[in-house]
A and B are shown apart, each in its own frame.
Chain A
């Protein structure tokens, strides 16, 4: 139930961020609020509910991107799996660790999305996202994640994380 609430909040935040990006006048960078939720699911929620939540967040991003293609559900679950793996080496109670992992997740997500778009795009198409834009996106998303951490912790199941690093 609380995973559903987190996913619902993710949808609201993603709808809001699309307007915020326009207000802030960000040209090529975007906020990756959805990824902040995916990382939280990876650090604090169990495997199956977390994976389903990550899939839902990726699905929302896919639809809201204006170009639904099934790429983002795949990437979201892949990021979730990566976070589950590295969570053994990170302090999942720490706000700082969470923020740093969100920044890394945004970098990985952007690189993978660019690579897949390049692989399946039209002939002669060039990579559409630059490294400075990805770095800016990672920085502002990490900042947003730092601010949102207390909100996510409020919604988290009371008993805490179910299984730490149980995926592998």
Chain B
């Protein structure tokens, strides 16, 4: 027996390294697992690198734009040319500042509209795996962020927190294949379920009976019934409806309101005081 083990140690180690994680995945792991000490250690190493890279990229972008703006200036230029170059640089910086200001106003406006407490966070990375859609933000449990909290962008629903460490948190976006959000067709007030399809695909419209009033172009908002998102936040717009599959339910696709790849700042609702907010306006923009 000992000789057998000694002679086949390579294959036994390999089999163990493949078999144990496969078993863990197939039994319970595919539903996700809680972070252990080793997971937190890996994230503690990765988060500062991601933060550093994000800061470096932003600094480099600013440096390049300044350099490009000053390309026309030289020592022989007359004073007015220098002033013009300086003005262009300032204009470029001002344009950038206006864009940033507009973005932040959007985020703050959205944050102020929420009844409970909230935190504004910055996106520091997207997950490296294709199967699941998640991103990492620069705020964590040390600042009150907990698993399950709703995350919004200036244009609508982004997702919810699925992991939180002291300094960062992972957000599962609504397009993830395991994501489900309680929805409401804003025009006809028909309830529905909105699920993700992953990989850059649009959202799917689920659990709506074939005879319900749903049309392409309808806006879909949160229903407030899933216990995560307050009522009335924009999820997306219906782009296609199909009633040809013969089942009890129709099928449809929804273009998400949020562009995950271009989201830079988000709002985390840390204590939504009222999930079913009655102040949300209906299709005519009037509160019921």
Contact = CB atoms under 8 A, between A and B. Distances in A.
A64 B42 contact: yes
Nearest to B129: A65
B46 A11 contact: yes
A38 interface: no
Given A15-B46, A47-B13, 4 more contacts: A30-B130, A59-B38, A65-B131, A67-B134
Interface string A104-138: 00000010011011001110111111100110010
Given A22-B261, A66-B162, A74-B18, A15 B35 contact: no
Interface in A1-46: 11-12, 14-23, 25-34
Interface in A59-117: 59-61, 63-74, 77-78, 81, 110, 113-114, 116-117
A28 B201 CA distance: 9
Contacts of B57: 19, 23
Contacts of B131: 65, 67, 113-114, 117, 128-129
A167 B9 CA distance: 10
A31 B17 contact: no
Interface in B1-47: 9-11, 13-14, 17-18, 21-22, 24-26, 29-33, 35, 38-39, 42-43, 45-47
Contact of B17 (A27, A51, A113, A134): A51
Given A19-B50, A30-B130, A66-B163, A11 B45 contact: yes
Contacts of B18: 74, 77-78, 81
19 contacts: A14-B46, A18-B46, A18-B127, A18-B128, A21-B126, A30-B129, A58-B21, A64-B128, A68-B33, A68-B35, A69-B30, A72-B129, A74-B25, A113-B131, A114-B130, A124-B206, A128-B199, A128-B201, A137-B130
Size category, B interface? 35 or more
B50 A15 contact: yes
Contacts of A11: 42, 45-46
B32 A67 contact: yes
B49 interface: yes
Given A19-B54, A28-B199, A120-B30, A128 B125 contact: no
Contacts of A52: 13, 17
Contact of A19 (B125, B129, B177, B261): B125
B53 interface: yes
A6 to B, nearest CB: 15
A73 B16 CA distance: 11
Given A17-B128, A31-B128, A73-B21, A117 B199 contact: no
Sort chain A's interface into a size bin: 35 or more
B197 interface: yes
A34 B128 contact: yes
Given A15-B45, A117-B177, A81 B14 contact: yes
A47 B9 CA distance: 10
B178 interface: yes
A48 interface: yes
Contacts of A17: 128
A22 B178 contact: no
Contacts of B132: 65-67, 117
B217 interface: no
A167 B178 contact: no
Contact of A28 (B9, B13, B123, B200): B200
A133 B125 contact: no
Which of A22, A31, A61 has the most CB atoms of chain B within a 10 A radius of its CB? A22
A117 B24 CA distance: 14
Nearest to A27: B200
A166 interface: yes
A68 B21 contact: no
Contacts of A32: 128
Across the A-B interface, the 7 shortest Cβ-Cβ residue pairs: A128-B198, A66-B134, A28-B200, A66-B170, A18-B125, A120-B30, A65-B129
